[in-house]
Amino acid sequence: MALPPSWIESLVQQLSYCLFPTELPAPLGCHYHFEAGCWEIALFPPMRRPGRGENYAASCRPSTFTFDIQQASMLFEELQHIDWVAMPADRENEAGPHLLIEGVVNNHTVLVRICSEVPARFQNEQDLIVQEK
């Protein structure tokens, strides 16, 4: 994937300051692309393996966190829409449960998804960060 524009790097860094892990912090996952005149950015937590005493046969689970929506909304020059997608309506929405923020940043239309788990297409990536508990 090509390097992101510098304003996207800056936005992602600022959004990361709105995210507060409830466990040891680990790197965030990020995916971005440009489609139909809009930059789409997805941020998602790393996966964690079970710790001692837990069922190691269990699959990895996403790291837990809280997110400051009010702080994030101030990063947009123009805020058009905020939604919580608790249960995606169809299989095409691979982001899973997520906060959706639409607006304008640096004169670019942006759609940001703060995902509560790693989107399905990235769960089997070899370079996916998995944090040992």
Q: How far are the Cα atoms of 42, 68, 101 from residue 3, in angstroms, in the given order? A: 15, 27, 23
pLDDT tens for each residue of 95-131: 788 999 999 999 999 999 999 887 766 655 544 444 4
What is the reported pLDDT for 31? 87
| 59: confidence class by pLDDT, cuts 50, 70, 90 | low
Task: Report the pLDDT averaged over residues 58-76.
Answer: 85
- Most confidently predicted of 12-26, 33-47, 48-62, 88-102: 33-47
pLDDT on residue 129: 44
In this predicted structure, what is the pLDDT of residue 119?
A: 75
Q: What is the pLDDT of residue 68?
A: 96
Check whether 76 has a pLDDT greater than 70. yes
CA–CA dist 28, 126 (Å, integer):
15
Domain chopping of the chain, boundaries:
6-132
Q: How much is the average pLDDT of 4-12?
A: 92
Q: Quick one: pLDDT band at residue 48, thresholds 50, 70, 90?
A: low
Please report which confidence band the pLDDT of residue 63 belongs to, taking 50, 70 and 90 as the band edges. Answer: confident
Q: Computed from CA positions of residues 116, 89, 127, 35, in that sequence, does the dihedral angle turn out positive or negative?
A: negative
